[in-house]
């Protein structure tokens, strides 16, 4: 019994001595604990894990009255993510398999006909997801968990041109002709068990031209018109090319047309030719960004409403207009 008591006393004394030493260390460097916590926090600032078949993803829709805590990543994290994206995809280049080198993507509306199809699935924020869509979005949609699927038809020979009085954009695959600015949108998709997936003509890909598809997504749009303050046009937009199928472009193109539908005599409801998809992107340390590059090569990081094409902030709103 005495031996047991002795052992207990030795153990207690050793514990108290270690606490005393720890206290002395903290007194000598009172910031050491804080610095350690910061190091740990920074090392886990953006942990993005891939979805594995069989995993259970907890995805909850946003309910009215819920509070969403959305935080931004710092500049260093943004730069690191951008560098990693470029590094990861530089060895996974997928060349466009169209008949020539001037291809762009338009939003699919029903069928792509003989054109190849690009399908971009983005795993949106899992917790209290607030993604939504309204009006015309062609074949692009949001599933019941708030994840976003964008469907494009890849059109050869880039028949698109600047048109009088308005601004619009198409997805740039490898076109170097026409257009007078570029919009590169980085989507910070869900970090945890990310299930992003992109296919081109049925095969999975990780890049196509300047577009990047991995745990996060970069879409590069070729713009026509005013890059800073696009205004919807009127009947002049009948100059859009007839590519043999119905399709959509990025932008609120016909917003002010009220007396007649641009290609019909009647005037149908606005939501039959205009709509939007709002993607609820990653909430935690959100690393979204949007760059506008002009034809002279100047690059500007932009946010908020970008011309009449999209809204770029912690979440992303894409505007759709039906053409033909």
Q: Is residue 66 part of a domain?
A: no
pLDDT confidence of 268, banded at 50, 70, 90?
low
User: If you average pLDDT over residues 46-71, what whole number do you get?
Assistant: 50
| Selected residue with higher pLDDT from 30 and 283 | 283
Least confident interval from 61-65, 91-95, 277-281: 91-95
Query: Is residue 32 in a domain?
Result: no
7 vs 290: which has the higher pLDDT: 290
314 CB contacts (<8 Å, ≥6 apart)? 70, 72, 281, 283, 286, 288
Identify the pLDDT of residue 293.
96
Name which of 44-58, 167-181, 269-283 the model is least confident about. 44-58
Which alpha helices (H) appear in 49-164, and where do they start and end?
75-90
Residue 312 placed within a domain: yes
The mean per-residue pLDDT over the stretch 304-315 comes to 93
pLDDT digits (tens, 9 = 90+) for 89-143: 433 333 344 455 799 999 999 999 999 999 999 999 888 899 999 999 999 999 9
Question: Can you read off the two tokens belonging to residue 304?
Answer: 């908020």
Query: Which pTM does this prediction carry?
Result: 0.70
pLDDT greater at residue 40 or residue 231: 231
Per the prediction, the chain carries an average pLDDT of 75
Of the chain, the percentage scoring pLDDT greater than 90 comes to 47
How far is residue 93 from each of residues 79, 102, 125, 200, 206, measured CA to CA in Å? Answer: 21, 17, 28, 13, 7
| More confident site: 324 or 179 | 179
Each residue of 215-258: pLDDT tens digit?
999 999 999 988 887 655 444 444 688 999 999 999 988 754 44
| pLDDT given for residue 85 in this prediction | 52
Q: What is the pLDDT of residues 141-177, one digit of tens each?
A: 999 999 999 999 999 888 998 876 678 999 999 998 8
71 — pLDDT class (breaks 50, 70, 90): low
- Max mean pLDDT among 1-5, 29-33, 301-305 falls in 301-305
Is residue 43 predicted with pLDDT exceeding 70? no
Which residue pairs from 63-72 have beta carbons closer than 8 angstroms and sit at least 24 positions apart in sequence?
63/128, 66/128, 68/128, 68/130, 68/283, 69/283, 70/283, 70/286, 70/314, 71/283, 71/284, 71/285, 71/286, 72/285, 72/286, 72/287, 72/314
Residue 304 lies in a domain: yes
Does residue 48 lie in a domain region? Answer: no
Which DSSP category does 272 fall into? G
Residue 275 has pLDDT above 90, yes or no: yes
Count of domains observed in the chain:
1
pLDDT at 22: 41
Q: Is the pLDDT of residue 58 over 90?
A: no
Q: What is the pLDDT of residue 57?
A: 45
Say yes or no to pLDDT of 300 above 60. yes
Asked whether residue 15 is domain-assigned, the answer is: no
pLDDT winner (highest mean) among 44-58, 244-258, 261-275: 244-258
**278 occurs within a structural domain:** yes
CA 59 to centroid of chain Cα atoms: 18
pLDDT value at 40 more than 60: no
**Structural domain that includes position 86:** 75-323
Per-residue confidence (pLDDT) for residue 1, from 0 to 100: 53
Question: How far apart are the C-alpha atoms of 142 and 131, rounded to whole Å?
Answer: 7
The helix/strand/coil state of 210 is: coil
């Amino acid at each position: 019994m005495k031996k047991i008591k002795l052992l207990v006393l030795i153990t207690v004394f050793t514990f108290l001595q270690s606490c005393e030493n720890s206290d002395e260390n903290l007194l000598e460097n009172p910031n050491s604990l804080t610095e350690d916590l910061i190091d740990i926090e920074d090392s886990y600032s953006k942990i993005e894990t891939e979805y594995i078949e069989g995993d259970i993803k907890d995805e909850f829709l946003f309910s009215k009255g819920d509070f969403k805590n959305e935080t931004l990543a710092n500049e260093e994290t943004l730069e690191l993510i951008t560098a990693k994206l470029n590094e990861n995809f530089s060895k996974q280049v997928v060349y466009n398999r169209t008949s020539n080198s001037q291809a762009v993507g338009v939003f699919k509306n029903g069928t792509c006909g003989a054109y190849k199809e690009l399908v971009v699935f983005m795993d949106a924020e899992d917790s209290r997801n607030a993604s939504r869509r309204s009006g015309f979005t062609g074949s692009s949609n949001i599933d019941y968990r708030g994840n976003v699927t964008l469907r494009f038809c890849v059109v050869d020979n880039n028949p698109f041109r600047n048109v009088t009085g308005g601004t619009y954009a198409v997805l740039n695959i490898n076109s170097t002709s026409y257009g007078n600015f570029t919009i590169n949108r980085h989507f910070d998709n869900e970090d945890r068990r990310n299930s992003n997936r992109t296919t081109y003509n049925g095969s999975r890909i990780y890049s196509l031209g300047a577009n990047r598809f991995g745990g996060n997504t970069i879409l590069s749009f070729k713009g026509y018109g005013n890059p800073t303050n696009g205004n919807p046009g009127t009947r002049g937009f009948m100059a859009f090319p007839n590519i043999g199928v119905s399709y959509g472009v990025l932008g609120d193109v016909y917003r002010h047309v009220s007396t007649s539908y641009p290609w019909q005599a009647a005037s149908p409801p606005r939501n039959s030719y205009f709509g939007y998809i709002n993607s609820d992107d990653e909430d935690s340390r959100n690393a979204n960004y949007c760059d506008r590059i002009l034809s002279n090569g100047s690059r500007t990081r932009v946010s908020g409403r970008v011309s009449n094409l999209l809204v770029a902030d912690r979440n992303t709103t894409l505007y759709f207009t039906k053409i033909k």
